[in-house]
Structure 1
């Protein structure tokens, strides 16, 4: 029953009498008036109940008021707590729904010390720390907003200044071009006008010759006509010669103006899409988030660690991005995550490179390995990684800051790789699981397994366990001493198993490529089910990674899909 403005006495109300309650009994889950409280406090059945005033009851959060003391389904008092299902149980609940559950404990023992346990003090300290951190972050973010505004104004002025410079330069170029146009037009006009003047003079000369010819023909004597025609013949011959050569005059050509815009200007118009670009500049915040008790687990001593069933797990897509394309099509076969959250990918066979990206998918750097072919990669610290090479029978240690190989370790045919407590563990074909000490290169065989003979065998660790796939239908789990804990095989759900990851509950996530899905295997290796399939965007993949309740599935083409696991 949730607290309200007026709470009635439950006992009186059952007798059809409306009396305002002055007290509340959490175990009876009802209000009590002053008179009924007296009887309640002396009754053998209820004298041990811890009643509180109705005013204190109304101060409790609504969700706390909703906590019931008895099982609503069976009308029995709760007696046990099931950590697997995070539920209070009555005896009938246990017999019906919790027969297989382990770690159940009586709630009476736990609640006796609930008020005096360190949990409340720890929660108060944690909430205080959280509030202090939030206030620090708020101040820092507000300061960042002011800084962004200042940067905005500075960039705006820079854009306008650049535009002004561009305009001034274009005005200069335009003036020069127009002056050149005017000058060229004047030259062409001069050539044509010169020719026109010459032709005008020739027309006058021809008209005179025509008049002379008519005059000689009509009025001259026969001798004058004969001799005159010879003289005129020479003059006409000269004029014919001029007409024939007139096409050689510059003014006779068909002249015109043509504008050829400079290729660089054309490039500006066609290729340049902007004056510049605006990018987000991201750097690590100076604020360090720290909660004093964040690494301490404050549980009631009676409560064992909780396990989780694979049936309870759900996955929802929350993000997607792609690895920066290389010169050729990507073939992503390895992934590891640095302690600072950056991711490094092995882009095998075609591009022969390592690609490092930030957690938001933006590129950090590329490290080219040609002619070596990086197959799988594991982070040793924030700048050092170990990489297996597909065809060269070696593991190389790479400093990602200098992008150089600092150490080479000769091996057999090594494939999947991981790092654990100063050791590099990897799958060596036809031998098994090997371990190399990073500091002295000492090599030992943890698991002798000649069945590891496929090119896409992968390995990971969690706690004291080692897990590996064999690109078949089998997943194996060993302890760090090499003793097999379990082996799971099911061809109906697992086929061409590659990438493998493990969550905090010991549940295993495996890529099954033949069926194009992600398979869950229980922590004891006894049961499995499909979590994600092709309809969830799963395609052929080698790489899978689990971190902070997020599952990263990476296709060979370099598409990273991020799923929230709940």
Structure 2
């Protein structure tokens, strides 16, 4: 008998880990390691999916079938949530696939550098992309040494991009052209970064902890989480910091939790309801908390204390597997990427407009 092809876990692969798959989800069209398989079978959003063990899983995923089944499932799931009283409307799609891309796009992070320029971290093609979002033009592309995992604006002319696999953050100039200025070497595998008020915040795995860095790379502070945080946080993939720098928000797709911790590493609050693959978490300048809940295909607006969440956008708005997002408060636009494995979705950034000003952080 010919030996089956060895497959790796798709969710872990997107986070930079190569772990052998021990199962497969027909609905999602994804291979799963033992940890992700257990999580998939227990989550309210995915426990009804058709799961196969290692002996029965296919050698190649059938993404076309998985996509059609998932479309049915997400519309059922979308009915579970009460829509926000705020009004949001679809504006357009922005094509972010460059002519020379070898693979489909996988936009894991994005950040604004001006009201009309968006920088994208394309993990699938190992690229940074500078896009003029008014003219829908790809202005510049930068080839990276490794897959990017995090991205944050440092100034109108600079961004910081996280290259987790080589333990480095690169400071990149965005000014006409796009080029690397310098490297910040990290003492461990970093999963998420966020820049605010002259400080670079980083989340690190393998003994989960957080660091506050200067742009020179000097560490101002190391935040070691308390035991309660460590019970629920094993993979601090995306982080965001409140405007007053009093708390850090963390999303963990392995435990399906979102947490709020203070600057001493103590748990403040945690979202207790079911999540399914929470990804990017964004804080507006006025303190509103937004979350990409990927496998339920929705964007949540959450209270700052994480006691509640309201769906802003979902499957009925054309949303599918939201992976990363950012807010343009001047234009009242959301830009949202898809973590789908189909080209028609992952090569586009969806633009939505909100028609009610974000006047405060309450709901």
CA distance in 2, matches of 1:340, 1:515: 30
Alignment correspondent of 1:375: 149
Q: Aligned-pair distance for 1:352?
A: 0.6
Q: 2:270 aligns with which of 487, 493, 517?
A: 487
Q: Aligned-pair distance for 1:442?
A: 2.3
More helix by share: 1
Kept in 2: contact 1:473–1:490 (CA 8 A): no
Alignment correspondent of 2:43: none
CA distance in 2, matches of 1:429, 1:324: 31
Alignment correspondent of 2:349: 560
Q: 2:138 aligns with which of 363, 367, 377?
A: 363
Kept in 2: contact 1:478–1:486 (CA 8 A): yes
Alignment correspondent of 1:424: 200
| 1:324 to 2:324 alignment | no
- 1:272-302: CA deviation from partner (whole Å, max 9, x where unpaired): xxxxxxxxxxxxxxxxxxxxxxxxxxxxxxx
| 1:338 to 2:127 alignment | no
Alignment correspondent of 2:214: 437
Q: Aligned-pair distance for 1:504?
A: 4.7
Map 1:103-118 → 2, pairs under 5 A: none
| 1:313 to 2:86 alignment | yes
Kept in 1: contact 2:211–2:219 (CA 8 A): no
Map 1:197-346 → 2, pairs under 5 A: 311-325=84-98, 326-339=101-114, 341-346=116-121
Map 1:6-405 → 2, pairs under 5 A: 311-325=84-98, 326-339=101-114, 341-348=116-123, 350-360=124-134, 361-369=136-144, 371-401=145-175, 403-405=178-180
CA RMSD of aligned residues (A): 2.3
TM-score by length of 1: 0.42
Shift in CA distance, 340/480, structure 1 to aligned 2, threshold 3 Å: farther
CA distance in 1, matches of 2:224, 2:350: 33
CA distance in 2, matches of 1:403, 1:562: 24
- 1:168-221: CA deviation from partner (whole Å, max 9, x where unpaired): xxxxxxxxxxxxxxxxxxxxxxxxxxxxxxxxxxxxxxxxxxxxxxxxxxxxxx
Number of positions where the alignment pairs a residue of Structure 1 with one of Structure 2: 252
Shift in CA distance, 560/532, structure 1 to aligned 2, threshold 3 Å: same
Aligned with 1:486: secondary structure?
Answer: strand
CA distance in 2, matches of 1:379, 1:523: 22
Q: 2:293 aligns with which of 490, 512, 522?
A: 512
CA distance in 2, matches of 1:551, 1:447: 33
Kept in 2: contact 1:512–1:518 (CA 8 A): yes
Kept in 2: contact 1:425–1:434 (CA 8 A): yes
CA distance in 1, matches of 2:89, 2:264: 36
TM-score by length of 2: 0.63
Kept in 2: contact 1:436–1:443 (CA 8 A): yes
Kept in 2: contact 1:374–1:389 (CA 8 A): yes
Kept in 2: contact 1:432–1:452 (CA 8 A): no
Shift in CA distance, 404/562, structure 1 to aligned 2, threshold 3 Å: closer
CA distance in 2, matches of 1:384, 1:377: 11
Consecutive unaligned residues of structure 1, counting only runs of 5 or more, are 1-309
Q: Aligned-pair distance for 1:447?
A: 4.8
Q: Aligned-pair distance for 1:535?
A: 2.2
Alignment correspondent of 2:11: none
Q: Aligned-pair distance for 1:482?
A: 4.4
Consecutive unaligned residues of structure 2, counting only runs of 5 or more, are 1-82, 340-345, 357-363
Kept in 2: contact 1:340–1:382 (CA 8 A): no
Kept in 2: contact 1:473–1:489 (CA 8 A): no
Kept in 1: contact 2:140–2:178 (CA 8 A): no
Shift in CA distance, 537/405, structure 1 to aligned 2, threshold 3 Å: same
Kept in 1: contact 2:259–2:267 (CA 8 A): yes
Kept in 1: contact 2:153–2:160 (CA 8 A): yes
More strand by share: 2
Kept in 2: contact 1:477–1:486 (CA 8 A): yes
CA distance in 1, matches of 2:219, 2:321: 36
Alignment correspondent of 1:461: 241
Map 1:527-542 → 2, pairs under 5 A: 527-542=308-323
Q: Aligned-pair distance for 1:354?
A: 0.2
Kept in 2: contact 1:544–1:554 (CA 8 A): yes
